[in-house]
Amino acid sequence: MLSNIITLNTFTDLGLMIFVGMALGRLVKKIKLPNVTGYLLAGLLLGPSILGLLSEEFLSGITVISDAALGFIAFSIGNEFKISYFKRVGATPIIIACLESFFAVAFVTVALMLAGCSTTFSLVLGSIAAATAPAATIMVIKQYKAKGPVTETLLSVVAIDDATALIMYSISIAAATALSGGNATVKELVLKPVIEIGGALVVGAILGFLFLLPMKAFKKDGNRLSLIIAFIFVGLGLSQLCGFSSLLLCMAMGAVVANFSPDVNQIMKLSDRITPPIFMLFFVASGADLKLSVLPAVGLVGVIYIVVRVVGKMFGASLGAIVCKAGKNIRKYLGPALVPQAGVAIGLSLAASSVVPEHASEIRTVILCGTLIYELVGPVIAKTCLKKAGEITEA
């Protein structure tokens, strides 16, 4: 392989990722595709699946970049959780998020059972269907400066989705454990997701208020940017120590800043200054992690999961919009924009495998294949939906 001829070190690898990411980002833009698609393709090209210039050891060693990117993304999402917004739209995003998560899990579980899979296996694999990856969607929104009711609702739903996915997962796993002869304890069914979600929101909110204190003393852009980075890093560290969702924690911190800081617009602009190369590295690394080798092994179970999950999310999002009497564009275009699925789903697949260890390999293969497909087509679908909703102008 080419990797045997060209040996790079960490810094040249990172530089190569940025160069190729920029090149393919510009290339796909010429054919009207989102930049994030180019970044993912750059990673796929450089990664073990094709050229092998980025080794699996190298990729596992730069996870701090992915963690940082997700922290900044979540902090940015939190900025959308203004009290004024929820006074205007009410519980609409929460209801939509709950229904799209529920029906993704329910549709996949039932479809797998109808295909002849065991109830336990169907519950375990179906439990992962609720998870949605917000990163690619956020990048599309930022690139095209999307604005409108669909964009607003989408940002809120993908943020809340992290919480609803954990709840759906915990309930499904508890049911699967009970059916397989284990004990679905109250802790597994109720306390664990409550602690993970509630703990993340409480700690994130506390950090958000603490963040506001030094902002009064430090007015220069450089100092404020340093504080933003420091607090996001502390939030990520605490989430790992406590086992909380880093997305929810950093989102809660961003929400506090959005609602209680008079300088929120300046803070978000400063955050946006540092994130472009971090986001690019994150998506190139994500693309490098995608494995083409899993495609032939996906089988009927994989096809069912990949297709039916999307159907469930579209149905649930549309039903939620109808129940809440949301606009026609939200009913029509929100669901397809929820396609992306990545890190959270992979993490859940590893944890879920312990419930049905005899199917661990099959579950991981299906989720990896789904990630490959969802991450490559998701940004394109999100852009198309937002454009048809009239909320982006072609750059």
Mean pLDDT of 184-210: 78
pLDDT value of position 350 = 65
Span between the terminal Cα atoms of the chain, in Å: 38
Q: Is the pLDDT of residue 189 over 60?
A: no
Find tokens 């312990």 and name the residue: 354
Kindly give, in sequence order, each residue whose CB lies less than 8 Å from that of residue 78, ignoring residues fewer than 6 positions away: 159, 204, 250, 251, 252, 253, 254, 255, 256, 257, 258
pLDDT bin (cut points 50, 70, 90) of residue 1 is: very low
Radius of gyration from C-alpha coordinates of the chain: 20
The pTM for the full model equals 0.77
Segment 348-380, tens digit of pLDDT: 776 666 667 777 777 877 887 887 788 888 888
Mean pLDDT of 189-218: 84
Q: Are 260 and 309 in contact (CB under 8 A)?
A: no
pLDDT value of position 187 = 56
Mean pLDDT of 335-355: 73
Percentage of the chain surpassing pLDDT 90?
19
3-state secondary structure string, the chain? CHHHCCCCCHHHHHHHHHHHHHHHHHHHHHCCCCHHHHHHHHHHHHCCCCCCCCCHHHHHHCHHHHHHHHHHHHHHHHCCCCHHHHHHHCCHHHHHHHHHHHHHHHHHHHHHHHCCCCHHHHHHHHCCCCCCCHHHHHHHHHHHCCCCHHHHHHHHHHHHHHHHHHHHHHHHHHHHHHHCCCCCCHHHHHHHHHHHHHHHHHHHHHHHHHHHHHHHHCCCHHHHHHHHHHHHHHHHHHHHHHCCCHHHHHHHHHHHHHHHCCCHHHHHHHHHHHHHHHHHHHHHHHHHHCCHHHHHHCHHHHHHHHHHHHHHHHHHHHHHHHHCCCCHHHHHHCHHHHCCCCHHHHHHHHHHCCCCHHHHHHHHHHHHHHHHHHHHHHHHHHHHHHHHCCCCCCC
pLDDT bin (cut points 50, 70, 90) of residue 22 is: very high
pLDDT value of position 344 = 67
Picking from 16-30, 193-207, 248-262, 349-363, which range would have the lowest pLDDT averaged per residue?
A: 349-363
pLDDT value of position 296 = 74
pLDDT bin (cut points 50, 70, 90) of residue 18 is: very high
pLDDT value of position 5 = 44
Dist. CA 254–CA 209, nearest whole Å: 10
Dist. CA 364–CA 113, nearest whole Å: 19
pLDDT bin (cut points 50, 70, 90) of residue 181 is: low
Structure tokens at 168: 């759906």
Mean pLDDT (the chain) is 83
pLDDT value of position 228 = 92
pLDDT value of position 246 = 81
pLDDT value of position 271 = 86
Residue 72: name the closest of 114, 135, 116 by CA. Answer: 135
Q: Is the pLDDT of residue 183 over 60?
A: no
Q: At what angle do helices 221-242 and 63-78 cross, to 10 degrees?
A: 110
Q: Is the pLDDT of residue 230 over 80?
A: yes
Segment 66-101, tens digit of pLDDT: 888 888 888 888 887 888 877 877 888 889 989 998
pLDDT bin (cut points 50, 70, 90) of residue 206 is: very high
Task: Tell me the domains of the chain and their CATH numbers.
Answer: 64-279+301-388 (1.20.1530.20)
pLDDT value of position 308 = 92
Q: Is the pLDDT of residue 291 over 60?
A: yes
Dist. CA 101–CA 109, nearest whole Å: 12
**24-38, 259-273, 307-321, 333-347 — most confident range:** 307-321
Q: State the burial class of residue 113 (Cβ atoms within 10 Å of its Cβ: 0-12, 13-18, 19+).
A: middle
Dist. CA 205–CA 147, nearest whole Å: 26
